[in-house]
Amino acid sequence: MRKKVHKLFWIWQLEKEQAWVNDMAEHGYALVRAGRFTFEFDDSEPGIYIYKEIFLKGSSTSSKNIEYFKFLEEMGITEVCAIDYPNTCWVYLRALKEDYPNGIELYSDVESKITYESVMMWYLLFVVIVCGLCSALNYYMAFTPNNGVRWLNLITASGVTILMVIALIDFIKRVIRINKLKKERKIHE
């Protein structure tokens, strides 16, 4: 039986989303399709699958990515679905848990981890800047004389400020991770 779930994950919450999808698999729901805020699952044997989410450059149908998916299939990892964004795609991969008991580790080298963290860091910086501008504009409008909807501007500005602080905290965590990975890279050189 197919189960459709609507759940919001921010683009920088890849690990959290992946943990949730794997938790659903542990409870007998196999991911079959994902959209930006929608996930569809089929009933399956609990704990049979393990999932991994990755970002790839280019669309999911580019020849380079199709070749990569074929390579993964040889390792027992299949593409479940993908969401295409401009110049990148978000891909959901699945494998049998018995083949990958410790999880699917694709980007285990330090350089790939730095690249991933850097991409997420720049997404977060964009969110922080946009939220900061929206928040400042709404605070300005809330305290402008002759503005009849001050309360709405204050509520909007407060909500956007909270989102900005959440993104800023995650941005700082990513910067710290990148610096640790760069130190690790120097050790291995």
**Burial of 87 from C-beta contacts in 10 A (0-12 / 13-18 / 19+):** exposed
pLDDT at 147: 67
pLDDT tens profile 137-173: 988 888 887 767 788 888 999 999 999 999 999 999 9
In sequence order, the 6+-apart residues with CB closer than 8 A to the CB of 122 are none
Report the range of poorest mean pLDDT among 20-24, 55-59, 88-92, 106-110. 106-110
**134 CB-side CA count, 13 A:** 16
Mean pLDDT, the chain, integer: 89
Helix 150-188 vs helix 110-142: angle between axes, to the nearest 10 degrees?
Answer: 160
pTM beyond 0.85: the answer is: no
Residue ranges with strand state E in 131-184 = none
pLDDT tens profile 68-94: 999 999 999 999 999 888 877 889 999
Residue 147 backbone dihedrals phi, psi, to 5 degrees: -100, 115
